[in-house]
Chains A and B, each alone.
Chain A
Amino acid sequence: MKINLASVFVDDQDKALRFYTEVLGFVKKTEVPLGPEHRWLTVVSPEDPDGTELVLEPDAHPVVKPYQNGLVADGIPHTSFAVDDVRAEYERMQALGVRFAQAPVDLGPVITAILDDTCGNLIQIAQYK
């Protein structure tokens, strides 16, 4: 067994697609219309186009917002993406106006930082040594 999909709840799929591709650097993999408002929309890493797909899932269900707000208040990231250099990504994204809830911290085996994806979530970036 391996991980097929992971998902993030997003408040606006167009905005999310822009952030996840233009800022984070993922590429769109699948886009299927679902009803008048929403799409089945996934992105993948350009380094692993056949790997795990990230679903940009609409946050329309009423329980999603309270869940997201609770996690964000305590600084808990929804998920984590691996990068080669957390500090370089931190500098690069800050220059693009990305807001960080946690600056890079060296935690021994890993360096992490936490950014706001502007769609309702905190996302951790991690660099394993």
Chain B
Amino acid sequence: MADDVFKALADPTRRRILDELAERDGQSLFEICARLATKHGLGLSRQAISQHLAVLEAADLVRTRRDGRYKFHDLNTEPLERILTRWLRPDAPEGTP
């Protein structure tokens, strides 16, 4: 699972997608495409963005939910917390000489 997270985060477009979802959860594929195109000049095809989202979903960084006829994407930060705590030591020295 951690390998999937690193792979997912290695790509700048996928990091942009996470940036935008961090700003607002519950975005449709159309909204994600519109944000990448207008805010970041990333004119990717819808299929390409779908594939990036699939990688993020496989890493559990993005979760999708159906709400009636709509499909929305949410950011899930739990895998990041696991990575963050992996190398953190509770007894880290406070400042070094």
Contacts and interface: CB of A to CB of B under 8 A. Distances in A.
Interface of A: 69, 72-77, 101-103, 105, 107-110, 112, 114
Given A101-B28, A102-B27, A102-B28, A73 B69 contact: yes
For the complex of A and B, 7 pairs with smallest distance between CB atoms = A75-B28, A75-B30, A107-B38, A74-B29, A72-B69, A76-B30, A73-B71
Nearest to B30: A75
Contact of B34 (A101, A103, A107): A107
Interface in B62-96: 69-71
Contacts of A69: 69
Interface string B26-41: 0111110011001100
A107 B39 contact: yes
B7 interface: no
Contacts of B29: 74-76
A interface secondary structure, majority: mixed
Interface string B1-39: 000000000000000000000001001111100110011
Given A107-B39, A108-B38, A75 B69 contact: no
B95 to A, nearest CB: 42
A122 to B, nearest CB: 8
A74 B34 contact: no
A75 B35 contact: no
Contacts of B38: 107-110
A105 B69 contact: no
Contacts of B71: 73-75
10 contacts: A72-B70, A74-B28, A74-B46, A76-B28, A101-B70, A102-B30, A107-B38, A108-B39, A110-B38, A114-B28
Nearest to B38: A107
B21 to A, nearest CB: 12
A21 to B, nearest CB: 24
B16 to A, nearest CB: 14
Given A108-B39, A109-B38, A102 B31 contact: yes
